[in-house]
A and B are shown apart, each in its own frame.
With several copies, the nearest count.
Chain A
Amino acid sequence: MDEPALDFETAPAASDRDDALQLSLESWEGPLDLLLTLARSQKVDLKQISILALVEQYLSFIAEARELKLEVAADYLVMAAWLAYLKSALLLPKDPLEDPSPDELALRLQLRLQRLAAMREAAARLLARDRVGRDVFLRAKPEGLRDVKLRRWDASLYDLLSAYGQVKLRSEPVVHLVSRRPVITLDAALHHLQRMIGIKLDWAELADFLPPDYHGPLRRSAIASSFVAALELARQGRVDLKQAGAFEPLYLKAATMGRPAA
């Protein structure tokens, strides 16, 4: 793998550790970042790196920082403690029962460093690509593609005519109501009833007095006006009325003069 393009000039070499420490701990992004930089200073492929040597480097780095009374963040100290444990485990005779073994821990650390290094290198190569606005350029003011909605109004001839019908109705309602309603007026009913009373001599139902060809609203109207007409004629003493009870058929016949209604 290529050497990463990122600069590691802040990496402390053995000779100028003090200078490096001036920059240190502020410039690292955490213990792993510091470890990777120290590993780079071994100038070998991360696969061949000596974890033991790396641990030494880290521990002495932290120790010097503390000697200089630099503030060392907690996570660096946690890493230092862990590495100190790893170091002693690696140096002691191997205990086959220990799980995980120090070798496994060292391998994990190595794998993590490799992955971080790989991504660091990838980031550098990504940023070095021909980037829009720096290396390649787009049209500054493209015309742009636009979608324009065309409003299209929709209406049928029926919509138009029924709308006009409603306008007409609104403006001339009275005329229509009078001319169109089929009614039998009270006068007409009186006239008709008087004529019919003369013909029918016996009791007859009110409905029988209506012309047979009246249907629907006209018949309703005729019944209503004939009823009122019958009451009027009874008031005048010209007909007799009888009804067996409420809502029973109403019978009427010409009044017998001088005798009260039954």
Chain B
Amino acid sequence: MNPIDDRERAIEAMLFASDEPLDPRQVVARLGDDGSIGEVRAFIQAIAARHAGSGIELVERGGHWHFQTPADLAHLLRRERDDPRKLSRAAAEVLAIVAYHEPVSRAEIEAIRGVQTSKGTLDVLMEAEWIAPAGRREVPGRPLIYKTTDAFLQHFGLGSRKDLPGIDDLRAAGLLDPVDLAFDEAMGELDLVKDGEEA
């Protein structure tokens, strides 16, 4: 490799260490000799060409030059890492209600859940991209209504919303068993044991 011209080196170092982009005029002033702006411009072009295609690039912004990393490598500088979190019970309920009743407004969700729903819960579901606003209900106040997304279907392995189990399916699966019935059944089993002992 040919040795690099001393003034080119100096300009390169200046542009590197400067805390703001420099224009050729500022570079000439800092060089402190009688170099012309035209010469400096040529050196800057040479520096930019020398770095072309590398992991460093010299770019012009409104007549001022500065070094930066190429945009296509930005993903390396801003590394993204997954941070999985379990959906809260409240959020799961809201998501289920949206899925079974969509499109549905926040007030309607609250009516079904029987408790107030914080804005944060809907935000979490929107951040997860499982629900999305679907326009407004044409009633007084024009509340925003929500529906589930394709990402929702994908995440839960559903072909469509029709694949969601119906109420009867849920009941058959025991998901709708009241707590006190379950208690009775547990007590019945105890009785049977006692009967067996007495026999």
Neighbour of B170 across the interface among A122, A123, A144, A181, CB < 8 A: A122
B78 CB → nearest A CB, Å:
5
With A160-B99, A177-B180 as known contacts, state yes or no: A150 contacts B83, CB within 8 Å: yes
For residue B139, CB closer than 8 A to chain A, the reply is no
Complex: chain B residue closest to A47, CB-CB: B173
Neighbour of B188 across the interface among A130, A155, A160, A220, CB < 8 A: A220
For residue B165, CB closer than 8 A to chain A, the reply is yes
Task: Tell me the total A-B contact number using a CB cutoff of 8 A.
Answer: 277
Complex: chain A residue closest to B101, CB-CB: A119
For residue B5, CB closer than 8 A to chain A, the reply is no
Q: Are A161 and B179 in contact (CB under 8 A)?
A: no
Neighbour of A146 across the interface among B78, B89, B91, CB < 8 A: B78
Neighbour of A129 across the interface among B90, B93, B158, B185, CB < 8 A: B158
Count of chain A residues with Cβ under 8 Å from any Cβ of B?
Answer: 77
Q: Are B93 and A164 in contact (CB under 8 A)?
A: yes
Q: Are B92 and A137 in contact (CB under 8 A)?
A: no
Count of chain B residues with Cβ under 8 Å from any Cβ of A?
Answer: 75
Complex: chain A residue closest to B189, CB-CB: A216
- A146 and B30 CA atoms in complex are apart in Å by 10
Interface centre among B30, B69, B169 (most CB of A within 10 A): B69
- A122 and B188 CA atoms in complex are apart in Å by 28
With A132-B155, A220-B188, A220-B191 as known contacts, state yes or no: A112 contacts B17, CB within 8 Å: no
- A151 and B16 CA atoms in complex are apart in Å by 28
With A119-B100, A137-B68 as known contacts, state yes or no: A155 contacts B95, CB within 8 Å: yes
Chain A interface helix/strand/loop/mixed? helix
Flag the segment in A30-38, A56-64, A196-204, A252-260 that touches B.
A30-38
Q: Are A134 and B84 in contact (CB under 8 A)?
A: yes
With A31-B114, A122-B100 as known contacts, state yes or no: A169 contacts B176, CB within 8 Å: yes
Neighbour of B165 across the interface among A111, A134, A161, A166, CB < 8 A: A161
Neighbour of B156 across the interface among A116, A120, A126, A219, CB < 8 A: A126
Q: Are A111 and B18 in contact (CB under 8 A)?
A: no
Q: Are B92 and A159 in contact (CB under 8 A)?
A: yes
Q: Are A170 and B113 in contact (CB under 8 A)?
A: yes
Q: Which A residues from 155 to 187 make CB contacts under 8 A with B?
A: 155-157, 159-171, 173, 176-177, 180-181
- A163 and B130 CA atoms in complex are apart in Å by 16
A contact set with B: CB distance below 8 Å: 1, 6, 29-33, 104, 107-108, 111-112, 114-116, 118-127, 129-157, 159-171, 173, 176-177, 180-181, 215-217, 219-220
With A33-B114, A107-B186, A177-B178 already in contact, 19 other A-B pairs whose C-beta atoms are closer than 8 Å: A1-B169, A30-B113, A32-B115, A107-B187, A122-B96, A124-B92, A130-B71, A132-B68, A138-B67, A142-B16, A144-B19, A145-B76, A146-B78, A146-B79, A152-B82, A163-B92, A164-B99, A167-B93, A217-B185
